[in-house]
């Protein structure tokens, strides 16, 4: 029987109409740095003042800095799904924030960004956060044996990652489908239904915690921090939070060094600055924003290490580096770590309203930087682009192609905008926040009738109800989305409502 991987390659070759072959000589290495919960206003190059980000600022100075770039969702799993599949996440009901033991939500038979690059001769690697599920829904996942399907089945030849997030169990590293350092006589059990084993939890042993947590995050304690969910076993395999940035960065650098003589694609999905925010001691106090800002400083340092690695290996001029984030910022997200109290005047979402979990602009308007010295002319651009477009854009750059009717139905080719050859971007895009979908068209934003929330300082949702016919905002003059112009421009509301309905329906049959 053919494996899903074999079927995918056969499908892709058929789609291309050519045999898989080596990448063209002009094809660059590609590094996609995908940060976690980093907002538009968290970087100095986007006007942030609370933490120094010299390496990301330098990356922006050497490349294109997009001011109208978007994640597809204001939460992580949906954005990551879109990034790798070229499909809006709402087209897959399973693409929501996943528990740590969820099955894989990407169909291995359909084209993905790494799988398409494989057909062009790229070696592909994942380092960092995954959070797209592991295993299949028909069989309980056994953490003590080979874990599949997973990153390999959707196109990553090498993978070193966590299963979900830093605040979810299992708190272990997985390399190429195997939990690292797992001892046979200490098997791992994971549950999101109730406690397993005799490990202390944040509820039963709060005095053991480095930082206090809310009820949701008060499951099994690992390395002095309670998590969402419960696990037993795997004592030797459990990570140390403060060492995580160095562990992931070492693997990312190793991947680059090992593959410097052939085209490579590295998806480097950092943990910073998702909770729990426990930066390495050498970064404590690196910012004026407490541990949240320190985690951003740590992220920036890691970017600097990658850029220096490229320089030492003489790969800078043959490597396209893209930086973005999965959703907007959040201050309190389950742990009482002082992020809200230390935030001061810093505006993590920049001029935009809202942040993570929100349908307001701050939930999906992202920093997005593309640098390829000698090829991309530096400078800012207002071209509108979505992360869902990376699949089609990078496929076009490398000569890959695929039938969008059975795969990346939402991905548009905007490689000319990324490379600075054009100021044209998308004409419209859909933004998602949970069950709510909104539409950006040119300078306009339409929010359908419903409830739009933002998180307050202790994690509660502050809700605003938008009545019929919805909210219409002119973003150049109203970035905070305070002035609803629906009554003034009813024809525009009707037009955008129809466009949104058409986008939601397209590709669903």
**Nearest partner of 189 among 222, 224, 143, 158, judged by Cα:** 143
Local structure of 430: helix, strand or coil: strand
Asked whether 245 and 193 are in contact (CB, 8 A), the reply is no
Query: Do 498 and 466 touch, CB atoms closer than 8 A?
Result: no
Please tell me what DSSP assigns to residue 28.
Answer: P
- Which pair of tokens denotes residue 400? 């890959």
Nearest to 476 by CA among 384, 371, 339, 346: 384
Sheet holding 444-447, edge to edge: 428-433, 436-441, 444-447, 471-474
User: Active site includes 131?
Assistant: yes
Q: What are phi and psi of 472, to 5 degrees?
A: -125, 125
Q: Which of 15, 45, 76, 274 is catalytic?
A: 76
CA distance 379 to 388: 22
Judged by DSSP in three states, 35 sits in strand
Distances from the Cα of 276 to the Cα of 132, 301, 495, angstroms: 19, 19, 43
Q: How many residues does the chain have?
A: 509
- Yes or no: say if 370 and 376 are a contact pair by the CB < 8 Å rule: yes
What is the DSSP-derived secondary structure letter of residue 24? P
Catalytic residue among 15, 45, 131, 271: 131
Strand pairing class (64-70; 365-371): antiparallel
Q: Are 71 and 77 within 8 A, CB to CB?
A: no
Nearest to 449 by CA among 493, 483, 480: 493
Phi and psi torsions of 294, nearest 5°: -65, -35
What does 128-179 look like in DSSP terms, one character per residue? EE--S--S-TTS---TTS---SSGGGGT-SEEEEESS-TTBS--B-EETTEE
User: Is 274 an annotated catalytic residue?
Assistant: no
Q: Residue 127 half-sphere exposure, CB side, CA atoms within 13 Å? A: 22
Q: Which residues are catalytic?
A: 76, 131
């Amino acid at each position: 029987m053919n494996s899903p991987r074999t079927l995918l390659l056969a499908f892709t070759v058929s789609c291309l109409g050519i045999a898989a072959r080596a990448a063209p000589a002009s094809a660059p290495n590609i590094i996609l740095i995908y940060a976690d919960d980093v907002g538009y206003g968290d970087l100095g190059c986007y006007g942030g003042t609370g933490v120094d980000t010299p390496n990301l600022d330098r990356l922006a100075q050497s490349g294109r800095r997009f001011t109208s770039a978007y994640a597809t969702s204001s939460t992580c799993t949906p954005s990551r799904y879109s990034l790798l599949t070229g499909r809006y996440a709402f087209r897959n009901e399973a693409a929501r924030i996943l528990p740590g033991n969820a099955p894989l939500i990407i169909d291995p038979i359909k084209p993905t960004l790494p799988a398409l690059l494989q057909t062009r001769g790229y070696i592909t690697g994942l380092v960092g956060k995954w959070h797209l599920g592991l295993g299949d829904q028909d069989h309980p996942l056994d953490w003590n044996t080979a874990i599949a399907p997973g990153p390999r089945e959707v196109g990553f030849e090498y993978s070193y990652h966590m299963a979900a997030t830093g605040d979810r169990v299992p708190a272990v590293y997985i390399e190429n489908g195997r939990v690292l350092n797992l001892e046979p006589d200490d098997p791992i059990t994971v549950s999101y239904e109730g406690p397993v084993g005799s490990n202390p939890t944040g509820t039963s042993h709060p005095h053991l915690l480095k930082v206090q947590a809310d009820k949701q995050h008060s499951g099994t304690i690992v390395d002095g921090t309670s998590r969402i969910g419960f696990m037993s076993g795997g004592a030797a395999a459990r990570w140390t939070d403060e060492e995580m940035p160095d562990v992931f960065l070492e693997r990312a650098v190793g991947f680059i060094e090992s593959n410097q003589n052939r085209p490579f694609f590295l998806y480097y999905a950092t943990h910073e600055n998702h909770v729990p925010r426990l930066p390495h001691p050498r970064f404590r106090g690196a910012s004026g924003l407490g541990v949240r800002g320190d985690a951003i400083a740590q992220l920036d340092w890691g970017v600097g290490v990658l850029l220096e690695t490229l320089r030492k290996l003489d790969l800078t001029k043959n490597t396209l580096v893209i930086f973005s984030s999965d959703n907007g910022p959040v201050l309190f997200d389950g742990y009482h770590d002082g992020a809200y109290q230390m935030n001061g005047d810093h505006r993590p979402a920049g001029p935009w309203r809202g942040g993570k979990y929100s349908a307001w602009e701050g939930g999906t308007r992202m920093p997005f930087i593309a640098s390829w010295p000698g090829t991309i002319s530096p400078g800012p651009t207002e071209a509108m682009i979505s992360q869902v477009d990376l699949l089609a854009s990078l496929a076009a750059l490398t000569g890959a192609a695929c039938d969008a009717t059975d795969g990346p139905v939402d991905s548009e080719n905007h490689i000319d905008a990324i490379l600075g050859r054009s100021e044209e971007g998308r004409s419209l895009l859909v933004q998602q926040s949970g069950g709510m979908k909104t539409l950006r068209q040119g300078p306009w934003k339409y929010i359908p009738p419903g409830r739009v929330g933002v998180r307050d300082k202790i994690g509660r949702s502050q809700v605003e109800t938008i009545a019929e016919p919805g909210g219409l905002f002119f973003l150049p003059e109203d970035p905070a989305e305070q002035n609803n112009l629906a009554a003034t421009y009813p024809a525009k509301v009707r037009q955008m409502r129809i466009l949104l309905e058409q986008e939601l329906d397209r590709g669903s049959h």
